[in-house]
Amino acid sequence: MLQMGGDTATIEEEFLRDLSLNFLLAGRDTTALALCWFFWLLANHPNVEEKVVAEAHHVIGAGNREGKLVLTRSELNRMHYLHAALTESLRLYPSLPLDIKHIVMDDILPDGTHVKKDDKLVYAIHAMGRMESIWGSDCSLFRPERWLDPCSGLFSEAHLPPFHYLAFNAGPRTCIGKDMAYVLMKTVASTLLLHFRVVPVRGHKVVPKLSITLYMKYGLLVTLEPRIGLAKESQVEA
């Protein structure tokens, strides 16, 4: 058993083991898929890629020490545009395209719909991310700026009802790995994009494959092209 601080409450080792495995397994494919769709979207939106790279260079470009890039949590937190771009990517291509809720007792939904015990409530997160009634007339566009405060330029979800964006669920059932997922995605994306361009192989077909997770049916074939100019500038600053 593991004692929590000065409290008498304890955590069984088996429970702690299962919780750790849940973090690792649940976040493996979902995070990898989110990055695949993100890199593909950037390749098709060079203006967004340019802003992501400029931000990464500004925040961590001088952190290159002996060929190793050292990222801190503080640096990751300053990458507001990257955070917005990843969130926008997940809006259009959520790693979990569908979700199901089991009704445990008769209830009435906020819109007046009656649901009965043992019913199944299925909602399409992928479709919701493309609904004009939720996101406006530009719902089909990849536009990270929709997540930035127009005055401060900082990432913000304050303007959005919490159940409009369900890539990580919402409310009391918000994914406990949400913060860790963003840390992993921002670390990989900023580090890779600072030094390389991710270029999809010409003619390679990218289409979604609907399953429990939103795979790319044929994967994502790419080549990495060094950002020679930025790499040299980073080394000079360091």
Name the helix (H) or strand (E) containing 223: strand 222-226
Q: What is the rounded distance in angstroms from the CA atom of residue 217 to the CA atom of residue 44?
A: 18
pLDDT at residue 87, as a whole number: 97
The mean pLDDT of 120-130, rounded to a whole number, is 93
| 75-119 pLDDT tens trace | 999 999 999 999 999 999 999 999 998 999 999 988 899 999 999
Q: Percent of the chain, pLDDT > 70? A: 82
CB 94 within 8 A of CB 167: yes
Do 194 and 56 meet the contact criterion of CB atoms below 8 Å apart?
yes
- Environment class of residue 156 by beta-carbon count within 10 Å: exposed (0-12), middle (13-18) or buried (19+)? middle
Write down the pLDDT at residue 132.
96
To the question of whether residue 175 is assigned a binding role by annotation, the answer is yes
- To which H or E segment does residue 120 belong? strand 120-124
| Mean pLDDT score, 69-79 | 86
The predicted model scores a pTM of 0.83
3-25: average pLDDT: 62
Cα separation, 161 vs 213, in Å, equals 24
Span 31-237 CATH architecture: Orthogonal Bundle (1.10)
